[in-house]
Amino acid sequence: MYYVVTGAAGFVGSNLVKALNERGVTDVLAVDDLRHGDKFANLADCEIADYLDKDEFAEKLEEGGFDGVLSAVLHQGACSDTTESDGRYVMDTNFRYSRRLLDYCIGDEVHFIYASSAAIYGAGREFREARECEAPLNLYGYSKFLFDQLVRRRFEERTAQVVGLRYFNVYGEREQHKGRMASVAFHFFNQYRGAGHVRLFTGSGGYGDGEQRRDFVSVEDCVQVNLFFLDHPEKSGLFNVGTGAAQSFNEVAVATVNACRKGRGESPLTLAALRERSIIQYVPFPEDLRGRYQSYTQADISALRAAGYDAPFLAVEQGVTRYCQKLLQKAPG
């Protein structure tokens, strides 16, 4: 029996493949789109049974080529660019393709765990898995919202587990291929290493400079939540995946800079000191993001806790520091 991971060469997907390997699972079908081939590096230290292009995989599924041989589909593949304007591409990738996988999993009694997103909540102040809290601000968020709505409508049809995981702001290893869509921790790390300072947005949404707040969650925790549901196939539903505590971009910057300073044997600095030394700088808020930007997110994780997931989440001070230490180990000179 095989485990399918879509988006397997991507950020969360490759971390999932690695985590399965660490459990001794190598019967993994890695599914992705490698037209932009640099992502292969995320799988170079992983063991997989086979690799399939995402379109080839969907076609073989529908032809019956995998009937009776799949244990679970861990669907992490998506267009995750929140500024992508090609609606046909986003909807085909995030909605229509996901629907094809859902149809198959219902028909062949295969467990289906998929990546949703906190972008569904838009500019709201309540981040709970309920329709009244959902109002996406961008096309990416809408595509994820639409698929979650489909899952809700078809929930009683399920023949096996169906779980949607609404990731909040994920950071961590194996995201280097994401470019501008990589986490702020990744960008802050490279800015500080390259220029000796980091750049944050000036105030927006009623928040001061760098004080916009997000629920920053380590990819390590996202993987553990996936594995929890994989281990509990009797549990289904939509669940937020965040720490449950919003933290500021300033806090991420401080954690990143101080992790780098520690790596050089230097003492940590406070936010005030980093501002005074112009190590933390602020740039004007981009006009193209106005009205499309979440200045605040904080996961309500009560549903996740009620499902039995009781492990603690890494706060920024722990998770970002750990991440930067790993980046430093791989960084040249």
Catalytic residue IDs: 140, 178
3-state secondary structure of 271: helix
**Contact between residue 254 and residue 186 where contact means Cβ atoms under 8 Å apart:** no
Q: Cα angle vertex 258, ends 253, 263, to 5°?
A: 135
Hey, how many other C-beta atoms are within 10 angstroms of the C-beta on 306? 10
Structure tokens at 203: 């105030």
**Contact between residue 274 and residue 332 where contact means Cβ atoms under 8 Å apart:** no
Structure tokens at 133: 């809290």
Place of tokens 């505590």: 245
Question: Which of these, 134, 146, 131, 153, lies nearest to 91 by C-alpha position?
Answer: 146
DSSP state of 152: H
Place of tokens 């499309």: 292
In the 3-class helix/strand/coil scheme, how is 74-110 assigned residue by residue?
A: EECCCCCCCCCCCHHHHHHHHHHHHHHHHHHHHHHCC
